[in-house]
Amino acid sequence: MKELLANITWHTLAGPHSKYATGTGDARRYAPGFPPIVGFADIEHPNLDALAPYCAPGEHFYCDGWSGRAPAGWSIDDESTMFKMVWAAPMPSADEAPEAVPLAGEHASQALALAALTRPGPFGPRNIELGEYFGCFEGERLVAMAGERMHAGGLREISGVCTHPDHQGRGLARRLVAKLVRRQMQRHETPFLHVMRANANARRLYERMGFRDHQESVVRVISPK
Name the H helices within the chain: 2-6, 8-13, 48-51, 108-118, 172-186, 200-209
- Among 81, 113, 147, where does a domain finish? 81
Do residues 97 and 199 both lie within one domain? yes
User: Does 6 fall in a domain?
Assistant: yes
User: Does 169 fall in a domain?
Assistant: yes
Residue range of the domain that includes 191: 85-216
Do residues 46 and 115 both lie within one domain? no
Mean pLDDT of the chain: 96
Q: Residues 13-64: pLDDT tens digits?
A: 999 999 999 999 999 999 999 999 999 999 999 999 999 999 999 999 999 9
- Among 81, 108, 141, where does a domain finish? 81
- Among 56, 81, 106, where does a domain finish? 81
With bands split at pLDDT 50, 70 and 90, how would you rate the model's confidence at 144? very high
The answer to whether 127 touches 103, Cβ cutoff 8 Å, is: no
Do residues 22 and 126 both lie within one domain? no
Do residues 22 and 94 both lie within one domain? no
User: Does 148 fall in a domain?
Assistant: yes
The answer to whether 27 touches 179, Cβ cutoff 8 Å, is: no
Q: What is the DSSP letter of 150?
A: E
Do residues 76 and 130 both lie within one domain? no
Do residues 74 and 50 both lie within one domain? yes
Q: Residues 149-185: pLDDT tens digits?
A: 999 999 999 999 999 999 999 999 999 999 999 999 9
Q: What is the dihedral of CA 115, 36, 186, 175, to 10 degrees?
A: -20
Q: How far apart are CA 46 and CA 41, in angstroms?
A: 7
Q: How far apart are CA 190 and CA 211, in angstroms?
A: 11
Q: In the prediction, which pLDDT does 208 show?
A: 97
User: Does 225 fall in a domain?
Assistant: no
User: Does 42 fall in a domain?
Assistant: yes
Q: In the prediction, which pLDDT does 145 show?
A: 98
Q: Residues 100-138: pLDDT tens digits?
A: 999 999 999 999 999 999 999 999 999 999 999 999 999
- Helices 172-186 and 200-209 pack at an angle, to 10 degrees, of 50
The count of domains in the chain is 2
Q: In the prediction, which pLDDT does 87 show?
A: 98
Q: In the prediction, which pLDDT does 1 show?
A: 82
